[in-house]
Amino acid sequence: MSEAGESLPDLNLVLADADRRLTRLVPMPPINFRFQWQGIPFAARVVMTDDGATRLRLVGDLGPIPYSAEDARRRDRLLSLIRWHAAARPCRFAVGQRQYLNLLGDADVATPLTGTAIIAAATQLLLQARSHLDLAAEQRLN
């Protein structure tokens, strides 16, 4: 009893009632976010496809491709990354606007949709492309 003679509510009942009324925060696509990995800026988007699948699409900006007159050898090596992709791979390289080399990725996101599932999908994409990202980084530094 409190000093005013009132009984205090049972804390377990209060917590149980609060839990019943709690609205769970569930991520809802589309979700956009940006991050940096190994010095490469990435933009990512989680979308719901027409068939109901949840997909993660990301684009990494690996920087400009030098003109042939600037460094033909380095240009050829960076452009060779574009030929790397195969139909079964979820990542590929492409030349974007302004002659920048980009890594494009597309992967399923596990359900139920959570922050952990999104991070896991992004990590899996990046690890699959890691050796080729390392090659691109070497060429950017030379």
Domain of 86: which CATH number?
Answer: 3.30.1460.10
Distance CA 52, CA 44 (A): 19
Q: Report the number of distinct structural domains present in the chain.
A: 1
Residue 137 lies in a domain: yes
pLDDT digits (tens, 9 = 90+) for 32-54: 999 999 889 999 999 999 999 99
Residue 5 lies in a domain: no
Residue 17 lies in a domain: no
Residue 10 lies in a domain: no
Residues whose CB is less than 8 angstroms from the CB of residue 111 and which lie 6 or more positions away in sequence, other chains included = 54, 117
Structural domain including 68 reads 27-141
Residue 12 lies in a domain: no
Residue 38 lies in a domain: yes
User: Percentage of the chain with pLDDT > 70?
Assistant: 87
CA distances from 85 to 11, 82, 93 (A): 58, 7, 7
Q: 45 is written with which tokens?
A: 């988007």
Distance CA 73, CA 76 (A): 5
pTM: 0.74
